[in-house]
Amino acid sequence: MKELDEIKKLFEESLGLVKTMEDLNNLRTNFLGKSGHLTTCMKLIKDMSPEDKKSFGVGVNVLKDEVNKGIAEKQVELENLAIEKELADMPKVDLTTPTGKEKGSLHPVTIIEQRLGNIFRSMGFTIEDGNEVETEYNNFEAVNIPKFHPARDMQDTFYLNNGQVLKTHTSASQNRIMRKYGAPLKAIFPGRCFRNEELDASHENTFFQMEGMMIDKNVSISNLIYFMKTMLSEVFEREVNVRLRPGFFPFVEPGFELDCSCPYCGGKGCRVCKHSGWIELCPCGMIHPNVLKMGGIDPEEYQGFAFGLGLSRLVMMTYGFGDIRHLNGKDLKILEQTKLK
Q: How many CA atoms lie within 13 A of 85 on its CB side?
A: 6
What was the pLDDT predicted at 175? 94
Q: Residue 154 pLDDT > 70, yes or no?
A: yes
In a domain, residue 100? The reply is no
Q: State the pLDDT confidence band at 249, using cuts at 50, 70 and 90.
A: confident
In degrees rounded to 5, what are phi and psi of residue 251? -95, 5
Mean pLDDT of 162-176: 92
Q: State the pLDDT confidence band at 341, using cuts at 50, 70 and 90.
A: very low
Task: State which amino acid sits at residue 35.
Answer: S
Name residues whose C-beta falls within 8 Å of residue 174's C-beta, 6 or more positions apart in sequence: 142, 143, 211, 213, 251, 291, 295, 306
Q: What is the CATH number of the domain that holds 221?
A: 3.30.930.10
CB 241 within 8 A of CB 260: yes
CB 324 within 8 A of CB 316: yes
Which residue among 89, 122, 148 closes a domain?
Answer: 89
Q: Is the peptide bond before 254 cis (omega within 30 degrees of 0)?
A: yes
In a domain, residue 97? The reply is no
Same domain, 155 and 85: no
The CA-CA-CA angle for residues 313, 318, 324, to 5°, reads 40
d(CA 187, CA 181): 10
Question: Using CA of residue 199, residue 128, residue 293, residue 305, what is the dihedral sign?
Answer: negative
Q: Residue 218 pLDDT > 70, yes or no?
A: yes
Residue, of 267 and 206, whose pLDDT is higher: 206
CB 201 within 8 A of CB 322: yes
Same domain, 149 and 185: yes
Same domain, 179 and 238: yes
Q: For residue 58, give its domain range.
A: 2-89
In a domain, residue 98? The reply is no
Q: Residue 182 pLDDT > 80, yes or no?
A: yes
Count of beta carbons in the 10 Å neighbourhood of residue 118: 11
Q: pTM for this structure? A: 0.64
Which residue among 89, 118, 135 closes a domain?
Answer: 89
Strand partners, 135: none
Mean pLDDT of 320-326: 79
What was the pLDDT predicted at 42? 75
In a domain, residue 280? The reply is yes
Residue range 51-110, pLDDT digits in tens: 777 777 777 788 888 888 888 988 899 899 988 888 888 887 777 776 666 677 788 888
Mean pLDDT of 38-62: 76
Number of domains in the chain: 2
CB 263 within 8 A of CB 159: no
Same domain, 15 and 118: no
Same domain, 68 and 123: no
In a domain, residue 35? The reply is yes
Count of beta carbons in the 10 Å neighbourhood of residue 14: 15
Same domain, 154 and 84: no
Same domain, 81 and 135: no
Same domain, 129 and 45: no
Same domain, 83 and 137: no
Q: Rounding to the nearest 10 degrees, give the CA dihedral for residues 337, 209, 229, 123.
A: -100
Same domain, 219 and 319: yes
d(CA 250, CA 207): 21
Q: Is the peptide bond before 299 cis (omega within 30 degrees of 0)?
A: no
In a domain, residue 117? The reply is yes
Which residue among 57, 89, 121 closes a domain?
Answer: 89
- Per residue, the 3-state secondary structure of the chain, as one string, reads CHHHHHHHHHHHHHHHCCCCHHHHHHHHHHHHCCCCHHHHHHHCHHHCCHHHHHHHHHHHHHHHHHHHHHHHHHHHHHHHHHHHHHHHHCCCCCCCCCCCCCCCCCCHHHHHHHHHHHHHHHCCCEECCCCCEECHHHHCHHHCCCCCCHHHHHCCCCECCCCCEECCCHHHHHHHHHHHHCCCEEEEEEEEEECCCCCECCECCEEEEEEEEEEECCCCHHHHHHHHHHHHHHHHCCCCCEEEEECCCCCEEEEEEEEEECCCCCCCCCCCCCCCCEEEEEEEEEECHHHHHHCCCCCCCCEEEEEEEEHHHHHHHHHCCCCHHHHHCCCHHHHHHHHHC
Residue, of 226 and 97, whose pLDDT is higher: 226
d(CA 77, CA 87): 16
